[in-house]
Amino acid sequence: MNRAHVLKLLAQSKPTLVERCGATDIALFGSTVRDTARSDSDINVPVSFDGPATSERYFASGLNCDATVRSRELIGEAATHVPDAFRAPHPQVDNDTLWTIVAWDVPALLASLRGPKSAPS
């Protein structure tokens, strides 16, 4: 898909996203916006919302849920391609360890990074 086609689809989808889950801003970045996307390229669409993230909004949009699932798929796939040159000196890093990090540690880290920030003392 080229940039013009994706932008048209986003413009058509915005009213539904506004109504269903409070989207306030929809953007496009990456190879699609540069018109250099290939048939296997992802379409990168960040969406801003008018309030706090809730499970209802998360599942209502469909975008976030799909993006989260796809991100985990990509990280999981990458984890199965860790080079032997790295694995050899790190035998404790196996696919189960990598998946545990992806499924549990990364989301917890992201949540803590997005949490309330204390003022510097």
Note the pLDDT tens digit of each residue in 68-103. 556 666 666 666 677 778 778 877 767 677 667 767
Helices of type H across the chain: 3-21, 55-61, 63-79, 84-87, 95-100, 106-114
> What gap in Å lies between CA 2 and CA 41, rounded to an integer?
11
Same domain, 42 and 1: yes
pLDDT of 115: 67
- Number of domains the chain contains: 2
Q: How many residues does the chain have?
A: 121
For residues 47 and 9, membership in a common domain is answered with yes
The pTM of the whole model exceeds 0.75:
no
Mean pLDDT of 39-61: 75
Segment 10-28 shows an average pLDDT of 83
> Could you list the residue range(s) of the whole structural domain that residue 3 is in?
1-51
Kindly state whether residue 57 falls inside one of the protein's structural domains: no
Per-residue model confidence (pLDDT) at position 97: 73
